[in-house]
Amino acid sequence: MKPYRVLLYYCYTTIENPGQFLEDHHLLCLRLNLLGRIIVAAEGLNGTVSGLAADCEEYMRVVKADPRFASLEFKVEENDTHAFQKLHVRIKDEIVNSDLPVDPTRRTGIHLEPAEFRKMKEEEDVVLIDMRSNYEHSVGKFKGAVTLDMENLRELPDHLHEIEHLKDKKVITYCTGGIKCEKASAYLLEKGFRNVYQLHGGIIKYGLEEGGEDFEGKCYVFDNRVVVDVNRVNPTVISACHRCAKPTDRMINCASPVCNNHVPLCEDCGWAHQGTCTDDCKNDPQLRAYDGTGYYARETQGYSPLLGYRSRKGSVNI
C-alpha cells in the first residue's frame, strides 16, 4: 500500500458565509499538512487534495461530520508522494466554471452508479457524451463516446447543435469526477433532452469500482501526475505523439511557458525536444527545464503552505 492518498470530491450545498468557511477550511488543511486545490462558493465545495493516509482519513472524517456535506463522496487513490506542490483555497462564484443558467440542486440528470453505468452503456439506444475539455479526451475517453471540441464547459452552448439530434436517445454524460456533469446534464434537460443520465463519481470512481472497462487511453488529472491509469480490464492507447505520431498515452504541458499546450508526447520525443510541442517552442528563451513529467507548477520561491493564509490574515499562529 502506498503512503499517500489523493482525494477528489465535490458537493453542491449552501454555504451561507463562504469567507468564514474558507478561513476555517484553510486552517484545517494546514493542520493536516494537505496540499492541493480547493474551491469554495456559496453553492458548495470542490477540491482535490493529497496527503499522508492518516491525514487524509482525518480530513474526510471532519468534512463528513459537517451536515452540509453528509452526501459528499470522496474518490480516494493511492500515490507514492504528494500529488501537488502547493495548497490553494479560493473563493469563486461557481465550484466549476460553467456560466450555465442551471441549478443542479433542483434538477439534474439521473445519477448512475459505476455498476449501473457499466451495464447501461451497452444498450443500443444509449449515447455517451464527454463533457471534458478537448485536451482531456484527446488522451482518453470511453469507447464510442461523443466528444466536443471545447476548451471548457462554458462553451457547451456553442456545441449544442452538434448533439441536438440525440434528444430522443438515452444520453449519459461523464467527466473526470462527476462535477461538470451536474450542470451539463441539467443544461441538457433545460434544452429539451428527454432522458439524461450522468456517471456518478465520474471516470475516477468507475475505474476504482468497476475496473474502468472500455475507457480507452488514460484519464487526464489536474495535478503532478498529469494522467492516470483507469482501465484494468481492456486497456488501450488512443493518442499519438504530437511530434512523431507514435502511439503514446503520455501527456505533457509544453515546456514553453508562452505555449503551455497540453499534448501527447512520447518519452523519446519528450527528451529529444525538451518537452516542447514545436521547434518554435523549443527555441523559447524562457523555456522551462524538462524533467520527464511534463508538469510545471508555478514558481515556488519563498512558498510555504501558510503563505496563502498569511496573505489574507497577516501574521498568524497555527
CA distances (Å), origin 169, targets 60, 148, 195: 38, 18, 7
Q: Which residues pair with 215 in a beta bridge?
A: 142
Angle 53-65/18-31 helices, nearest 10 degrees? Answer: 150
CA distances (Å), origin 219, targets 58, 175, 237, 279, 302: 27, 10, 11, 27, 32
Can 259 be counted among the known catalytic residues? no
Place of cell 523559447: 284
C-alpha cell at 185: 446534464
Closest CA to 75 of 162, 10, 28: 10
**DSSP H helices in the chain:** 18-31, 53-65, 114-120, 134-137, 156-159, 179-190, 202-210, 267-272, 279-282, 307-313
What value, to the nearest 5°, has the Cα angle with vertex 176 and ends 56 and 262?
105
Catalytic residue among 175, 254, 266, 281: 175
Catalytic positions, please? 175
